[in-house]
Amino acid sequence: MARGGSGDPDHGMELLWREAEHEPRPGLSLRRIVRAAVELADAEGLEGLSMRKVADRLGFTTMSLYRHVPGRDQLVDLMVDEVTGEVLAEARGSSPAGAPDRPQAGEGWRERLEEVARQGWELRGRHPWLAEVRGSRHLPGPNGVAYYDHMLGTLAGTALRPPEVIAVIGLLGRFVDAEALLLVETRREERRSGVSERDWWGARDSLYERLGRYPAITRLWETGGWDRPEDSFTFGLSRLLDGVEVLVRERAGERDGGPGGERDETRDVIRDGVRGESCPECGTPLDAARSGRPRVYCSRACRQRAYRRRSTDT
């Protein structure tokens, strides 16, 4: 998903994590630019997004926009964080602290995971261009990080190993994007051709005349396999969650000494480098944590080095 970008990534980070504009000043502002860009992308998709079009929409020159945002790539990152705030607000609900409620450990994880998937699906329904944002080097903003933390928290208390929690959330996100991207491409073809997807396929008689020689297709056709197709998002999400549930039960069995193997407490303590008596990066002995949360690294610097190394390995 790598994507070339213009400008300094650190500058983009400063833009994303800027202090909120509580009272926007008259005239052009970064907030106005981002909102106008979102409206433009909602109407025309990412292929229709350009700095010039955003400037025209706001009634300013293109150069005026560059005083606030370095380029289109950074603008897209800002747009993603802006609309992610919509699902973050849903997750926060009425929490007075302004953060999503923490789930009860281990219970109801499947319902929580399904909820975040459907929130992401509905968000892409409102902003289809989100599925077109490709690349592995999109900087996250505060809304994106907060909602990602909320998603990871849906699996709190399960027996999944830490890398598996991260992998499950990544798999879920890619599934939602893939389903949304199919809809985006379908709508794009319908706009381009002026013919609906159903009508286009319905007119392919020359293809259907050739399908009778294929027994599996013929059998499914004659037994109504295409008459009432499954909703692909609902069907795929259910099957994905089924697979995660199998893994959760398997790990729970390992942890509790049930089916799947005897419990190895030493492995539970140090498995995956999550806990140990010394820092896995530099070997410095770890002092006991003041809170109930175990210490993993001796310092923030070691934690950052470990994160960079794992990212590079991946």
Domains of the chain: 9-200 (1.10.357.10), 273-314 (no CATH)
Q: What is the reported pLDDT for 195?
A: 92
Q: Tell me what the mean pLDDT of segment 162-187 comes to.
A: 93
Each residue's pLDDT tens digit, 21-42:
544 556 789 999 999 999 999 9
| DSSP three-state, residue 45 | coil
* Stretch among 98-102, 120-124, 225-229, 232-236 having the lowest mean pLDDT: 98-102
Q: What is the reported pLDDT for 183?
A: 87
Cα gap 113→26, rounded to integer Å: 42
Most confident of 132-141, 164-173, 261-270, 284-293: 164-173
E strands, 20-142, in order:
none
> pLDDT: is 71 or 263 the higher one?
71
Q: What is the reported pLDDT for 293?
A: 52
Q: What is the reported pLDDT for 284?
A: 77
Q: What is the rounded average pLDDT for all residues in the chain?
A: 81
> pLDDT: is 161 or 22 the higher one?
161
Q: What is the reported pLDDT for 32?
A: 94
Q: What is the reported pLDDT for 269?
A: 37
Q: What is the reported pLDDT for 96?
A: 37
Q: What is the reported pLDDT for 97?
A: 40
Cα gap 152→274, rounded to integer Å: 16
Both tokens of 148, joined, read 């990602």
Cα gap 3→5, rounded to integer Å: 6
Is-above-0.85 flag for pTM? no
Q: What is the reported pLDDT for 80?
A: 94
Share of the chain above pLDDT 70, in %: 78
Neighbours of 219 (CB within 10 A): 10
Each residue's pLDDT tens digit, 65-117:
999 999 999 999 999 999 999 988 887 763 434 445 554 445 689 999 999 99
> pLDDT: is 310 or 194 the higher one?
194
- Residue 310: band (very low, low, confident or very high) from pLDDT cuts 50, 70, 90: low
Q: Tell me what the mean pLDDT of segment 265-279 comes to.
A: 47
Q: What is the reported pLDDT for 250?
A: 93
Q: What is the reported pLDDT for 152?
A: 95
Both tokens of 95, joined, read 């929490």
Share of the chain above pLDDT 90, in %: 50
pLDDT higher than 60, residue 264? no
Q: What is the reported pLDDT for 6?
A: 53
Write the CA distances from 47 to 159, 185, 196, 209, integer angstroms: 43, 12, 20, 37
Cα gap 241→145, rounded to integer Å: 23
* Stretch among 67-71, 91-95, 156-160, 229-233 having the lowest mean pLDDT: 91-95
pLDDT higher than 70, residue 223? yes
User: Which residues, other chains included, contact 1 with Cβ-Cβ below 8 Å and sequence gap of 6+?
Assistant: 134, 135, 136
